[in-house]
């Protein structure tokens, strides 16, 4: 149905209801103030939590970057240490394979190994073993005629693999000095390519530990130098039981290294179960991996203290804000109590103004909207149609031969006829957003937002048939009863700039309907 009569709306407005509405509004303002205060407090708390979370992520990221840089430095140190030993081995293997390994050369070879060892303080020793694992020469001057190293991992590896590259073996205890060492070895070949023995350089694990211990890793940090198969070569903090332990099942080897040769992560150690912020990197040129990790709990300790300080400050501010807001709300409630006593007198004046405003938009005879309301409504709806690209249609309705009806039946009957037609139009407008208007005299208009010309034409025909079926007698009409003619027009933003253009188009369609015999609906071209 269309909009209800303005008179009905005025009659339904009671002073007590309006007064109650004002009082409810005043109470709502207090509630809004409470809600606003809570929203501000919650927002401050949320911002503090967000800042704390960002600070936490920053602390972790900062340590990840630091561990990544440290892992890069330690990997370069390990690569340099092994490279120096491997370079000696390479030249030693080349010399032995070219000059041979006759017993007469052993004393000279001993002196050479001793001199080369003196050049590199990280070296525990340089050793030459024959194809059976017997000691041929060493840099330490040890005389062990019955010693045999054929059971060592590096010897077995070179005996079974023809590869001429360097081999990094697991950390072991020296049989000559009982010190922990790591081995770098190369294969010796006979001229025909058969296995002739091994050349081995041993490096003190203490060489790495002295560097690792000088780095501040907190109370529970860890540095690992591992073979690429996951076996620990040396670890800080140093425990003999950790040497040779495999961490291949841990996330570093199962999740990280398969995808990147270096990076950072926060993972739990498979050695001691501690969650750490880790930086890792493969050693360039050698099958080793270096990792440096800080205990996550130690990393976040400074963040926790900072967050507690921030939380204390925020709590203090929230307490002050809460006290201030409580005082403000009390003042507002007192003002509302005073204001409620003034609303009674104001209500009557507002009611009169409201009634005058509503009457100014209503046609007194039919109760439909008048021309003023039509003009305002059209401007608003045309603007909405342009913005939202939705339809808008207009019906212009004219009572056929109404002047003859007035002349024959009198003006009182004419007014009754107009009221009946107004009621029929209102009954056939189903949507609350539609507007029925008495445009002037016996002419009416219907505005149909969100409707195209097809829908508007259906509404027009519905109104036309309803008027005809009402059977209001009109002896001066060719139909013998009151009928209406309708012009239908849909809004086109491209050709209709204003409301006058749309009205003009509908009027032209109405003129065609009347010129074509009346009692019909015509769509504007």
pLDDT digits (tens, 9 = 90+) for 77-134: 999 999 998 888 898 888 888 877 777 777 787 788 888 888 888 888 888 888 998 8
Per-residue model confidence (pLDDT) at position 145 = 65
Answer whether residue 22 shows pLDDT above 80.
Answer: no
Answer whether residue 352 shows pLDDT above 70.
Answer: no
Q: pTM of this prediction?
A: 0.54
Q: Which of 207, 225, 259 is the last residue of a domain?
A: 207
**Any domain includes 72:** no
**Any domain includes 107:** yes
Cβ(188)–Cβ(199) below 8 Å: yes
At residue 323, φ and ψ (nearest 5 deg) are -65, -45
**Any domain includes 475:** yes
Query: Residue 153: which of 163, 142, 167, 141 has the closest Cα?
Result: 167
Asked if 442 is an active-site residue, the reply is yes
- In the three-class reduction of DSSP (H, G, I as helix; E, B as strand; rest coil), residue 314 is classed as helix
**Any domain includes 84:** no
Is the omega angle on the peptide bond into residue 517 within 30 degrees of 0, that is, cis? no
CATH code for the domain of 413: 3.30.70.270
**Any domain includes 148:** yes
CATH code for the domain of 107: 3.30.450.20
Q: Which of 11, 442, 443, 479 is catalytic?
A: 442
Per-residue model confidence (pLDDT) at position 399 = 95
Per-residue model confidence (pLDDT) at position 4 = 47
Q: SS3 helix, strand, coil % of the chain, rounded to 5?
A: 55, 20, 25
Query: Residue 503: which of 392, 422, 425, 414 has the closest Cα?
Result: 392
- Domain residues for the domain of 439 are 371-523
**Any domain includes 385:** yes
**Any domain includes 237:** no
- Least confident among 19-23, 127-131, 400-404: 19-23
- In the three-class reduction of DSSP (H, G, I as helix; E, B as strand; rest coil), residue 184 is classed as strand
pLDDT digits (tens, 9 = 90+) for 488-501: 999 988 878 788 89
Instruction: Report which of residues 162 and 331 the model is more confident about.
Output: 162
What distance in Å separates the CA atoms of residue 294 and residue 206, rounded to the nearest whole number?
A: 21
Task: State mean pLDDT over 65-77.
Answer: 93
Per-residue model confidence (pLDDT) at position 416 = 94
Answer whether residue 19 shows pLDDT above 60.
Answer: no
User: Domain count of the chain?
Assistant: 2
Per-residue model confidence (pLDDT) at position 495 = 79
Is the omega angle on the peptide bond into residue 502 within 30 degrees of 0, that is, cis? no
Q: Which of 192, 207, 222 is the last residue of a domain?
A: 207
**Any domain includes 250:** no
Q: Which of 177, 207, 237 is the last residue of a domain?
A: 207
Instruction: Report which of residues 469 and 17 the model is more confident about.
Output: 469
């Amino acid at each position: 149905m269309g909009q209800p009569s303005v008179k009905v709306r005025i009659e339904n407005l009671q002073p007590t209801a309006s007064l109650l509405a004002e009082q409810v509004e005043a109470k709502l303002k207090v509630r809004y103030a409470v809600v606003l205060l809570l929203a501000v407090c919650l927002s401050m708390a949320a911002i503090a939590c967000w800042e704390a979370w960002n600070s936490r992520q920053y602390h972790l990221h900062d340590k990840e970057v630091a561990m990544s840089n440290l892992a890069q430095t330690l990997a370069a140190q390990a690569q340099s240490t092994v490279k120096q030993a491997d370079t000696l081995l390479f030249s030693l293997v080349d010399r032995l394979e070219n000059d041979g390994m006759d017993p007469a050369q052993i004393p000279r070879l001993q002196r050479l190994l001793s001199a080369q060892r003196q050049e590199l303080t990280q070296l525990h020793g340089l050793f030459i073993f024959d194809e059976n694992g017997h000691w041929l020469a060493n840099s330490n001057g040890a005389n062990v005629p019955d010693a045999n190293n054929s059971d060592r991992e590096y010897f077995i590896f070179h005996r079974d693999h023809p590869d001429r590259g360097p081999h990094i073996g697991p950390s072991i205890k020296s049989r000559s000095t009982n010190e922990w060492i790591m081995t770098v070895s190369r294969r010796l070949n006979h001229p025909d390519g058969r296995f002739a023995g091994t050349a081995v350089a041993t490096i003190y694990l203490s060489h790495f530990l002295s560097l690792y211990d000088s780095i501040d890793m907190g109370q529970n940090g860890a540095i690992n130098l591992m073979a690429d198969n996951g076996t620990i070569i040396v670890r800080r903090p140093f425990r003999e039981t950790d040497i040779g332990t495999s961490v291949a099942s841990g996330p570093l080897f199962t999740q990280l290294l398969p995808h990147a040769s270096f990076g950072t992560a926060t993972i739990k150690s498979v050695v001691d179960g501690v969650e750490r912020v880790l930086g890792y990197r493969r050693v360039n040129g050698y099958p080793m991996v270096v990792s440096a990790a800080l205990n996550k709990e130690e990393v976040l300790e400074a963040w926790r203290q900072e967050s507690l300080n921030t939380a204390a400050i925020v709590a203090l501010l929230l307490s002050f804000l809460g006290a201030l807001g409580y005082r403000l709300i009390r003042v507002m409630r007192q003002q509302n109590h005073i204001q409620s006593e003034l609303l009674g007198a104001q209500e009557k004046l507002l009611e009169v103004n409201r009634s005058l405003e509503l009457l100014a938009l209503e046609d007194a005879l039919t109760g439909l909207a008048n021309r003023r309301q039509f003009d305002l409504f059209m401007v608003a709806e045309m603007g909405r149609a342009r913005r939202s690209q939705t339809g808008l249609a207009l019906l212009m309705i004219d009572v056929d031969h109404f002047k003859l009806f007035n002349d024959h039946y009198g003006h009182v009957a004419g007014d009754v006829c107009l009221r009946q037609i107004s009621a029929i139009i209102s009954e056939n407008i189903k949507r609350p957003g539609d507007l029925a208007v008495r445009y002037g005299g016996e002419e009416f208009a219907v505005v149909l937002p969100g409707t195209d010309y097809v829908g508007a034409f259906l509404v027009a025909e519905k109104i036309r048939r309803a008027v005809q079926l009402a059977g209001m007698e009109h002896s001066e009409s060719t139909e013998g009863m009151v009928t209406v003619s309708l012009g239908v027009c849909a809004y086109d933003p491209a050709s209709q700039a204003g409301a006058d253009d749309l009205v003009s188009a509908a009027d032209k369609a109405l003129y065609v309907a009347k010129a074509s015999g009346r009692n019909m609906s015509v769509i504007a071209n």
